Amino acid sequence: MPSTTINPTRMELTRLKGRLKTARRGHKLLKDKRDELMKQFMDVIRENRAIRKRVEEGLMRAHGAFTVASALMSSEMLEQSLLYPKQSVELDMTFENIMSVDVPRYQFRTKSQDPGEIYPYGFAQTSGELDDAVDAMAGVFQDMLRLAEVEKTSQLLAEEIEKTRRRVNALEYVKIPQMEESIKYITMKLDENERANTIRLMKVKELVLKEAIQERREENARVVNASGN
């Protein structure tokens, strides 16, 4: 029996069959979307792992060089050397649509294309290790930006995968079985009604035939009586 009360009519049967066809088509499309989202998600996860490894290695190099530089230079000189940066950057954010998911894309631009502009100090009173630390940080900055972009993308894709998975499961295990059960119930009811109508028609036909036979007999009896008289 269906979980909800339905009207077992041919019109309702036609409507449910149309809904079932649409639900099956939507279920297939959602499954295809889920599979493609999973593929995109796995690609992003692999890229995330590789970029994170590069970022961690770059930060370790920068940290090691800065530690050596802080040991060789006084804290006052180190602070003064890094107090006023010469280079400035601009960051623009756009969006890219991946399977109906808007993921961020960052564009990074420096004010000057001169690579020497990353050093905000003169080289006379600073150590080479400080140059190495600044250079390592400048090199890892692009990867850090890409890492933030990839991690946000993976988060958004994971949320969309979960929503799509719930919709697929709702159609596969709830909606479609309910409609199939309702269609089966209506079909059985209609067949039962059709059989009942057939039986009623047969009984009516049988009664009509009996009445016709009885009338024929009575008519024959009257004819015989009339001939005898």
Angle at 64 between CA 63 and CA 65, to 5 degrees: 95
- Ordered by start, the domain boundaries in the chain are 17-86+118-175
What is the per-residue pLDDT across 166-225, written as a single tens digit (0 to 9) for each? 999 999 999 999 999 999 999 998 888 888 888 888 888 888 888 888 888 777 777 777
Does the domain spanning 17-86+118-175 belong to CATH 1.10.275.10? Answer: no
pLDDT at position 179 is 93
Angle at 148 between CA 144 and CA 151, to 5 degrees: 130
What is the dihedral sign for C-alpha 55, 56, 61, 65?
positive
pLDDT at position 20 is 93
The low-confidence residues of the chain, meaning pLDDT below 70, are 1-4, 83-84, 87, 112-125, 227-229
pLDDT at position 119 is 66
pLDDT at position 47 is 93
Three-state secondary structure string covering the chain: CCCCCCCCCHHHHHHHHHHHHHHHHHHHHHHHHHHHHHHHHHHHHHHHHHHHHHHHHHHHHHHHHHHHHHHHCCHHHHHHHCCCCCCCEEEEEEEEEECCEEEEEEEEEECCCCHHHHCCCCCCCCCHHHHHHHHHHHHHHHHHHHHHHHHHHHHHHHHHHHHHHHHHHHHHHHHHHHHHHHHHHHHHHHHHHHHHHHHHHHHHHHHHHHHHHHHHHHHHHHHHHHHHC
Packing angle, helices 176-228 and 10-72, rounded to 10 = 180
User: Could you tell me the pTM of the whole model?
Assistant: 0.71
pLDDT at position 165 is 94
pLDDT at position 131 is 77
